Structure 1
Amino acid sequence: MPSCLDRAAHSALRAEFPLLEQCVYLNNNSTGAVPRGAERVLRGYWETLRTWRDDVWQDWHVGLDRYADGLAALLGAPPGSVVTDANLSTLLARVASCFDYRPPRDRVVVTDLEYPTVPFVFRAFGRYGARLTVAGTGGPRLDQDALEEQIDERTLLVCVPHASFTSGATVDLPRLVARAHQVGALVVVDAFQTVGVVPLDVTTLGVDVVLGGAHKWLCGVGTAFLYVRPDLVPQLEPAATGWQAGDRALTFQPSTGWAPGARRFAGGTPYPLTSLVSQVALDLLAEVGGAAIRRHSLALTQRLLDRADAAGITVVSPREAHRRGGVVCLDVPDGETVKRRLAARNLICSWRGYLRVGPHVYNSLDEIDEFMDALNKELGR
């Protein structure tokens, strides 16, 4: 075991995730394992439905706020600066609806390594004048120079992934934020691929907007989050909105203004179950701590890199620790078939053009070796 987690603590953590009893699970960059404590929440939710009283909404709102503020703490942000909703697409569109896309500042710059959600949403806002620019080289690694060359006084928003879903390559956020702010542009960060495995301090970075979700490295289910820099919030009024964003929402009286903080980006009636379930894993991860999770992740991904090099397998992900997220992507022949064959052996990864191997804090070096031994056999090495 890496020294950042002692054996007893690591064994206790693993015991909280039943999925690990069934397989070697290295697919956390796609969907994280869910802790057994989620079952208690689900049973409690059913009991609430079975014995329904409207008063339950008071506790549910407390639970929703607790989860949002727990995410804020994870991001180094103050309470009240994060709101949750069903998915990242919904929240991104809500942010996008805050702006008038009028010349001369009408450009939205994205990279060619972003998840398809982002360019799709901003292309839709083309009907309101948004002009989308896609920067990059088409390769698995981000060309940050090419990205920053596209950022000028006409740029309204720069939207980037903290790490690419295809390679795990991370963006140099301090450098990017400095460049964007120099010309008056705002930076929107899609942190879905990193939050929970790579520490992110939004206050220190001065980043404007961060989005992410629960079902990958946060080991939750069916919910996404939005952080907006607190001093920026008063300047933004989403056109895509709902009654919970109003200043009198919970009084059930007509609102005359916006709710304070990030809640002005809320939508309609919330769905509390996913936040309640996701809280279980957030508590477990917070107990381990972001720095320890990152050290453990780097030890596991380094073992993957070393084993791949020894086998002559092409590594697509960055080798530098500060440039890679939690996933190592391998270029292997007929990768999708290889992924299925490994799954038949209960060795679980994913394939998105490359074989993606994403160990988390509850995985071990022994599991990495077991996986790579099997991969070498599949490849005849």
Structure 2
Amino acid sequence: MEGLLPELDVIRKDFPILERVLDNGQSLVYLDSANTSQKPQVVIDTMVDHLERHNANISRAMHQLGAESTEAFEAARDKVTAFIGAPSRDEVIFTKNATESLNLVANTLAWATGDLAIGEGDEVVITEMEHHSNIVPWQMLTQRKGATLTWFGLTDEGRLDLSNIDELINERTKVVSLTWVSNMLGTINPVAEIARRAHEVGAIVVVDASQAVPQLPVDVTASGADLLVFTGHKVVGPTGIGVLWGKRAVLDALPPFHGGGEMIETVRMDVSTYAGIPHKFEAGTPPIVEAIGLGAAVDYLGHIGMEAIHDHEKAITAYALEGLATLPGLTVLGPLDATQRGGAISFELEGVHPHDIAQVLDSRGVAVRAGHHCAKPAHARFGVQSSTRMSSYLYTTPAEIDALVEGLEYTRSYFKLS
């Protein structure tokens, strides 16, 4: 199949879990990578090696282990900086996940002064397809500050309705926050185009790139974002580690999020002064081994090549869409053009609850997600409470898509659908 990674069999051998035989004797078919990706052996080995040979706290211990741990942690920052095309390593901040990154941004904007201050009469713009982690923090911010939350609606095809962009993003707009790739609909959004309009009115742009960074070549400067977040566990890295990238001018202007060790310049009983970025936003002992694992993960993806991974995702997604289209009563939510979407495909099967679909598929070794995928407003837009979602990644094969389609055919017969 054109577009597939040429060494797919070799790549699959890098992921030990893909050899797993489940309790029911079925071989694992893992189609839940938008939820969390599997981890290559190099990431596992890197983390184990650090814990076995170099474990120590960073930036504190004046001994060899402390120096080695600090060096490895900061090397991970360098790797992430290069992977996303950030202009400076100081602009890359480690958090525990994308949710914390977004809450950091929303809360520090609530406390900001000067040009970044938000108050009554100001507006924050999001979209109807956002993950809850890019909705709830902005609700909390606008409610606390007396500002107004507005949003882009969705077309019937699952794309952003940009017909009113000039009215929605206006002189009252202070922040535009949107997902680059929808975790439910798979839609790839024109973030640079939206950022241009936002910057015309002086608004800052926050991009949730959690689903984009794993599968698209990402250059933060070209994206038009002022702040961009993603999470490690979706880019073949570990859980417990996330990234916030921001333009230096914006990060310098924001106040600290958490207070504690490492984020200070000096502390007196009556007042403290704060360190510069990135340390201003990294209070306390960070997720050290997780950051080092993330560094190994982006190294691994970089070695394969993000253009090649993106081509693979498009090919597998197109094959999946073709297979799903053969099933009577199945409706895909979101764009049907594989070149315009990511690898997450949510769908309905008429007459069967998503949880039942997922359980039947699981009995055949096929792992998918069922529910609202932390995207209740997007589901409501399409008049459904929940959906089933399959999601591929660089290790997904056409045979696994065949197993999904066969499993769904079995599901139809199991529930005696006509």
Please give the TM-score of this superposition, normalised by the length of structure 2: 0.81
For residues 355 and 347 of structure 1, the distance between their equivalents in structure 2, rounded to whole angstroms, comes to 12
Distance 1:138 1:243 in 2: 47
Instruction: Provide the residue aligned with 1:62 in structure 2.
Output: 71
Q: Which residue of 2 aligns with 1:43?
A: 48
For residues 77 and 289 of structure 1, the distance between their equivalents in structure 2, rounded to whole angstroms, comes to: 17
Find 2:183's aligned residue among 156, 161, 165. Answer: 165
> Which residue of 2 is the match for residue 317 of structure 1?
334
Distance in 2 separating the partners of 1:120 and 1:3: 38
The correspondence of residues 254-269 of structure 1 with structure 2, limited to 5 A, is 256-260=273-277, 262-269=278-285
Equivalent runs, 1:76-95 vs 2, <5 Å: 76-80=85-89, 81-95=91-105
Residues 187, 2 of structure 1: alpha-carbon distance in 2 compared, 3 angstrom cutoff: same
Query: Which segment drifts farther, 297-306 or 150-159?
Result: 150-159
Matches within 5 A, 1:189-228: 189-228=207-246
**Correspondence 1:303 to 2:313:** no
How many residues are treated as equivalent by the alignment?
Answer: 374
| Structure 1 residue 286 corresponds to structure 2 residue 302 | yes
What is the CA–CA distance in structure 1 between the aligned matches of 2:82 and 2:237, rounded to whole Å? 17
Q: 1:29 aligns with which of 3, 13, 34?
A: 34
Letter in 2 for 1:284: Y
Aligned-pair identity in percent equals 28
Matched, 1:340 2:359: yes
Does residue 144 of structure 2 align to residue 127 of structure 1? yes
2:84 to 75, 88, 101: 75
- CA shift in 2, pair 1:335/1:240, >3 Å: same
In 1: Cα distance, 2:232 partner to 2:176 partner: 23
Matched letter for residue 340 of structure 1: Q
Counterpart CA distance in 1 for 2:296 and 2:323 is 34
Q: What is aligned with 1:136?
A: 153
Deviates more, 1:185-194 or 1:94-103: 94-103
CA contact (8 A) 1:94 1:241 kept: no
Letter in 1 for 2:262: Q
1:322-372 CA deviation, whole Å, 9 max, x = no partner? 431221222223122111111121111112322211111111112111221
Aligned equivalents of 1:191, 1:296: Cα separation in 2 = 19
CA distance in 1 between partners of 2:347 and 2:118 (Å) = 43
Q: What's the CA shift string for 1:112-132, capped at 9, x where partnerless?
A: 211112222123223244432
**SS at 1:19 equivalent:** helix
Alpha-carbon distance in structure 2 between the residues aligned to 1:122 and 1:58:
39
**Residue 381 (structure 2) aligns with:** none
Q: Cα distance, 1:315 vs. partner?
A: 1.5
Q: Check the 8 A contact 1:220/1:279 in 2, yes or no.
A: no
Partner Cα separation in structure 2 for residue 37 and residue 231 of structure 1? 36
Q: Is the 8 A contact 2:124 2:149 kept in 1?
A: yes
Query: What secondary structure does 2:32 align onto?
Result: coil
Change (3 A) 1:158 1:135: same
Change (3 A) 1:241 1:113: farther
Partners of 1:134 and 1:5 lie apart in 2 by: 38
Distance in 1 (CA, whole Å) between partners of 2:166 and 2:389 is: 28
* Alpha carbons 1:93, 1:240 under 8 Å: kept: no
The change in CA–CA distance for 1:379 and 1:73 in structure 2 (over 3 A counts) is farther
Say which SS state the counterpart of residue 87 (structure 2) adopts: coil
Q: Which moved more, 1:25-34 or 1:88-97?
A: 88-97
8 Å Cα contact 2:235/2:297 also seen in 1: no
Deviations 1:194-242 (A, max 9, x none): 2111222211232111001011244432211001023433333335454
- Deviation for aligned residue 1:3: 4.5
Q: What letter corresponds to residue 45 of structure 2 in structure 1?
A: R
Instruction: Show the counterpart of 2:344.
Output: 327
Inter-partner Cα distance in structure 2 for 1:51 and 1:198: 34
2-structure distance, mates of 1:283, 1:362: 16
User: Structure 1 residue 370 and structure 2 residue 393: aligned?
Assistant: no
Distance change >3 Å, CA 219–CA 42, structure 1 → 2? closer
Q: 1:326 to 1:50 in 2, by over 3 A?
A: closer
CA 1:365–1:132 in structure 2 vs 1: closer, same or farther (change >3 Å)?
same
Structure 1 alignment gaps of length 5 or more: none
Q: Decide which moves more: 333-342 or 290-299.
A: 333-342
In 1, Cα distance between the equivalents of 2:286 and 2:147?
A: 29
- Name the residue aligned to 2:16: 18
- Aligned to 1:159, the other structure's residue is in SS state strand
The whole-number CA distance in structure 2 between the counterparts of 1:239 and 1:342 is 43
Give, in whole Å, the separation in 2 of the partners of 1:133 and 1:3. 39
Task: Measure the CA separation in 1 of the matches of 2:264 and 2:189.
Answer: 35
Larger deviation: 107-116 or 86-95? 86-95
Q: Deviations over 1:134-175 (max 9, x none)?
A: 442597543233565321111111111112222111211121
Q: Partner of 1:186 in structure 2?
A: 204
